[in-house]
Structure 1
Amino acid sequence: MDPRFKIAHREAWIGVGLAVVHFIWWFGFAYGLGSRPVEEYTYILGFPDWFFYSCIVGFILISITVIILAKYILKDVSFEEEGDES
């Protein structure tokens, strides 16, 4: 078996895990804080707190996590066949 498939499989699971964590973050804040009556909302920079934490902070944290993963965890793999001299 080509070792590139093992790397791709591992990195695909990392991507799926990151997507699940992001969804849980978003869902928890959006529906956790957002389920209160509108009169009880607190605002951060003009946004309701549930939106600020779920969409803005969540996006920033996931973006930083993706950058760190791409720089330190994920590997650069060649798409060329290993015995291909052309």
Structure 2
Amino acid sequence: MKETDWRFKIANREALIGLGLAVFNFLWWFGFAYGMGSRPVEEYSYVFGLPDWFFWSCVVGFLVIVVLVIVIVKFFFVEVPFDEEGDDR
């Protein structure tokens, strides 16, 4: 039986991390957009001229995800060679 290439294990781990980031992004957006945005319009408060639900779900959410992606890629992802000469691991 042929052993699985070590690069597939890394790719699977990184794909699961990416999926986790996507789920976190959706939950952040959904929680703030529908949690705070389900109030009547008269009760909205505003941050920098934007409704608070929009500011927290879209503006701050975008910034949080950008920072998380940068940190994850910098510290958790590894460079993997694609050539077959590197199969000596």
Which category describes the TM-score, using the shorter chain as reference length? over 0.9
Over the matched positions of the two proteins, sequence identity in percent amounts to 64
**Unmatched runs of 5 consecutive residues or more in structure 2:** none
Q: CA deviation at 1:78?
A: 1.0
Structure 1 distance, partners of 2:85, 2:39, is: 58
Equivalent residue, structure 1, for 2:54: 51
Scaled by the length of structure 2, what TM-score is found? 0.91
Query: Secondary structure of the residue that 1:77 maps to in structure 2?
Result: coil
Scaled by the length of structure 1, what TM-score is found? 0.94
Q: CA deviation at 1:28?
A: 0.3
Distance 1:13 1:83, change over 3 A: closer
The 5 A counterparts of 1:58-77 are: 58-77=61-80
Moved over 2 A (4+): none
How many residue pairs get matched? 84
**Unmatched runs of 5 consecutive residues or more in structure 1:** none
